[in-house]
Chains A and B, each alone.
Chain A
Amino acid sequence: MEKMRMNVLICSGTGCMASESEKVIKNLEAIIKARGFANEVEVVKTGCFGFCEQGPIVKIEPDNVFYVRVGPKDAKEIVDEHIVKGRRVERLLYKDPKENKPISRQEDMQFYKKQLRVALRNCGFINPEDIYEYIAAGGYEALGKALLEMTRDEVIEEIKASGLRGRGGGGFPTGLKWEITKKQESEVKFIICNADEGDPGAFMDRSILEGDPHSVIEAMAIGAYAIGADKGIIYIRAEYPLAISRLTTALKQAREAGLLGKRIFDTDFNFDIDIKYGAGAFVCGEETALINSCEGKRGEPNYKPPYPAQEGYWGHPTCVNNVETFANIPVIITKGAQWFASIGTEKSKGTKVFALAGKINNVGLVEVPMGVTLREIIYGIGGGIQGGRKFKAIQTGGPSGGVLTEKDLDAQIDYDSLLAVGSMMGSGGMIVMDETDNMVDIAKFYLEFTMDESCGRCTPCRIGTKRMYELLNKITSKKGTMADIDALKQLAYMIKDGSLCGLGQTAPNPVISTMKHFWNEYMDIIKDVDHPQGEGRYVPKNKIGMKS
């Protein structure tokens, strides 16, 4: 093997591929070959760098030069100038929007300065389709360590001590979940990876699966060993074709390397993973609905308890964890719980990946330690609001969360403080809104989403969200009265109290929180001739379910 002197890393995540990064790769390879450098310079397809706003990203190592917005036509200049002659292509460097001077090093960019990449450690660094690159980056050592040097209880203790909590939004301590599943007496147990990422504007899990699929596979094997399962399932939505194909490749390579299958690391531990495709229903991210869908039934949630840890997939104890949760596990095992627990706040340890979207300058994927403030994310990493407009609100937690305004921007990001200010962590979608956005329309947008996604099993959610949507429609078409606003409010709390699963219980949140923070915007479009002072009330026709 000739010694490569240069690596050209290029993002081949879904975001950059949508901006023709595949053509850039093809052109780079062809031109490098034509110039006779094919034996010295390697083009490496990597996962997401996170800076999707500036994609496609090309990074040249060891020179540590970061090119942005590289189109297929720029390939020739990069090869002829940088690779052949060592001259940087100034016009493709990232320009700091404030000082307007080009920056070539990733470390110097505001976007990366405050980030700490743990779950995304290999995204944009290794080729996700090559298991040996993952191993070279320290992969599968955690699995070896767990199987050969640790008992099942020790693994669980380590995860418990790390303070890792579920990254799908619930925030349930992962170690505890594993312990509960381990304690169940059953011959057969399952471990499931929840890759059904459904929040509008969220793509954390997809990027991890596309950029570093082996980390999830390794972590599932560690989890399976800890709880005593020999079968794993990755439940992923069929809308993620690239993630599915990378996962399939990764599973095949892991089997060939003996890291899945019978007698892993020559121990008694057997484990293999199947992929199940979901049709993209939001409710299937809820674990009981997910299990139903895995079994081939309708994706509808069940009443809990029994929790899946007690009776899950085909009635056997099942542990369901989110993709990002899994991605943290191998590092915790290799670097130790103490290291992990040293990052973050008192009750929320580690880092969290967020998908920044909306009216923000640096749209993309960021990973920050728990405890940074929303202000740091929006104005530091995110680079402020597009077009220099004024910040209005940020929606965290997707359609289940709520809006936060200027006064909450200094809240620390962790599970508990976000709940305290009336939103939630959720899975990590963050949508930024500026002064031109109408909040009633935003509430309506989210409600339309949950209304569509309601599985229809329980009445409050199925009918309630529909009625709420109708009321909102009436209000936004300026035909609403105060009685409608009152009805909307009552209905919101009724759905919250009466729904079976998390989808319904949180569906009214966007309406409740926009009413709380932006009451004036509702009032602006109410034309109530009978109650100009806003004293109108909605009187239900019967009292069923009402607290009078």
Chain B
Amino acid sequence: MEAILTAVIPVVIIGVICAAILVIASKVMAVKEDERFPAVRECLPGANCGACGYAGCDGYAKALCESENVPTNLCIPGADSTAKQLSEILGVEFADVAEQVAVVHCAGDCRHTQDKVTYFGIESCAAAKLTYGGKGSCTYGCLGFGDCANICPQDAICVADGVARIYPHHCIGCGMCVKACPNHLISLVADTDRAVVACSNKDKGSQTRKVCSNGCIGCKKCEKVCPLGAITVSENVAVIDCGKCAQCPDFGVCAKNCATGAIGTFSVS
């Protein structure tokens, strides 16, 4: 009995001393946490996509709690409902979220362009890009290994016929694919009625025509027909100002007049 006690008592005493020190320390040195933080964090979708400009959802929630001036409508995946909840918790005015979707500026699928080489190597766009700009004859176009599809948190992207395609209804506009594409083919646009130039080839028209029958040849026809002047051709490729495009009275006129079919339209309704 005594042998047990001589073993148990010192351990118990040490344990109690440690516990006492910890209790005192946690009381004395307690750090106040904003009680709104868990509620705010709960509202955010938790995709940690960084579309808000902060380091993940935790970072955005912390910034919201610490400063009144941080807008509540920065979370694009969460959209209006999240912004509304956040505004309620923090007691600030609710502002509409500008929903965005990603679009691919390339339509050079296997029917319109050809491979120039056969590629054996790591199955990733970033790796393929390093070997002579990829296997396709157009070095500006989609590399087709789906780095964007792999990173997409919503499975909204698939690679079909060698070109990445985005399902606009699944896309939450987080912008992760924009960063993943080594050819910078993907951009975020406002989720409204829109016309998109599905080409990024900056070569001269004749050169573009040689490698892809769907490419923008920079003929400026769309520039002339656009009633709002939303289209400009720079570096041999048309660029559309989405803000103006949404108000177009003659929606789709640019796509109808495009000589090569490089402009596509999407209507929300």
User: Is chain B found bound to chain A in the same assembly?
Assistant: no
